[in-house]
Amino acid sequence: MPRKTIQPSNKIEYLSILDVDGNVDAALDPKLDPAELHTVFRGMLLARRLDERLLRLQRQGRIGTFGPGMGQEAASLGPAVAMKKNDWFVPSFREGAAMLWRGWPIEKIILWWGGNEFGAATPEGQNDLPICVPVSSQCLHATGIAWGCKYKKDPSVTVCFVGDGGTSEGDFHEALNFACSHTLPAVFVIQNNHWAISLPREMQSKSATLAQKCIAYGCDGIQVDGNDILAMIVASRDALAKARSGGGPTLIEAVTYRLAMHTTADDPKKYRTEEEVACWLPRDPLIRFEKYMRAKHGLDDAGMKQLEEEVAAEIQAAVARAEAYQSDPMDSFHHTFAEMPASLAAQSREFEEYMAELKADAAAAAQPAAERQMAES
Identify the pLDDT of residue 365: 85
**What is the CA angle 189-246-184, rounded to 5?**
50
The CA-CA-CA angle for residues 152, 156, 160, to 5°, reads 115
Q: How many other C-beta atoms can be found within 10 angstroms of the C-beta atom of residue 258?
A: 25
Residue 177 one-letter amino acid: N
User: Residue range 17-21: average pLDDT?
Assistant: 96
Superfamily of domain 12-324: Thiamin diphosphate (ThDP)-binding fold, Pyr/PP domains (3.40.50.970)
- Render pLDDT for 132-143 as a digit per residue (tens, 0 to 9): 999 999 999 999
Q: Is the Cα torsion angle 311, 315, 320, 321 positive or negative in sign? A: positive
Residue range 205-257, pLDDT digits in tens: 999 999 999 999 999 999 999 999 999 999 999 999 999 999 999 999 999 99
Q: What percent of the chain has pLDDT over 90?
A: 88
CA distance 91 to 21: 30
pLDDT recorded at residue 314: 98
Q: What is the pLDDT of residue 374?
A: 62
Q: Which pLDDT score is estimated for 280?
A: 97
Contacts of 70 (CB under 8 A, 6+ apart): 48, 51, 52, 258, 259, 260
More confident residue, 334 or 292: 292
pLDDT band at 117 (very low <50, low <70, confident <90, very high): confident
Residues labelled as active-site residues? 258, 262, 271
Q: What secondary structure does DSSP assign to 56-70, as a single string?
A: HHHHTTSS------T
Give the helix ranges, DSSP H, for 152-263.
170-181, 201-204, 229-244
Which band of pLDDT confidence, cut at 50, 70 and 90, is reported for residue 373? low
Provide the residue ranges of all domains of the chain, joining segments of one domain with +.
12-324, 329-376
Residue 93, C-beta contacts closer than 8 angstroms, at least 6 positions apart: 67, 131, 132, 133
